[in-house]
Amino acid sequence: MPAPGNGPQFHASSTISGFGCSPEDITRLLGLVPTRALLKGEVATADGSIRSPANIWTIDAPDTTEDSAEAQLEALASLIEPHVASFTTLPLGTTVTVGIDALDGSRLSPSYVPSRCLDVFAAIGAGLQF
């Protein structure tokens, strides 16, 4: 993820957690390749100071030509939408979230989420994090 001022100012991603199988199994179920995946206990930071508290599978929105929260959410929804039905095959107890961060630290509100994106994120059972 680029530092503020050196690229996109927004970052959207979807994270799946709470599953007991391997992240590779989630990749096979969804037909999507994650941006990053961790097993519980794996080092989660470059300096090795934090370990993953759970199995985690994350996919980031691709870069967009327009630097806006809406563009990032649309890109993420477009990436996920062809695979919506696969999300129903996730193991019981799995949690799906969609998040959008402003890299300058400002707070975003749900009003930034286009209605089409809300439909896609609802279809995969995702909670929203701002």
Segments making up each domain of the chain, as ranges: 10-129
Tens digits of per-residue pLDDT, 3-48? 444 555 888 999 999 999 999 999 999 999 999 999 999 998 889 8
pLDDT of 1 reads 43
pLDDT of 116 reads 95
Summary mean pLDDT of the chain: 89
Q: Name the more confident of 1 and 101.
A: 101
Whether 108 has a pLDDT exceeding 70, the answer reads yes
pLDDT of 4 reads 43
Whether 102 has a pLDDT exceeding 80, the answer reads yes
Tens digits of per-residue pLDDT, 64-85? 888 888 999 999 999 999 999 9
If pLDDT is split at 50, 70 and 90, which confidence band does 63 have?
confident
Percent of the chain with pLDDT over 90: 65
**For helices 115-123 and 69-80, angle between their N-to-C axes, nearest 10 degrees:** 40
- Rounded to two decimals, what is the model's pTM? 0.86
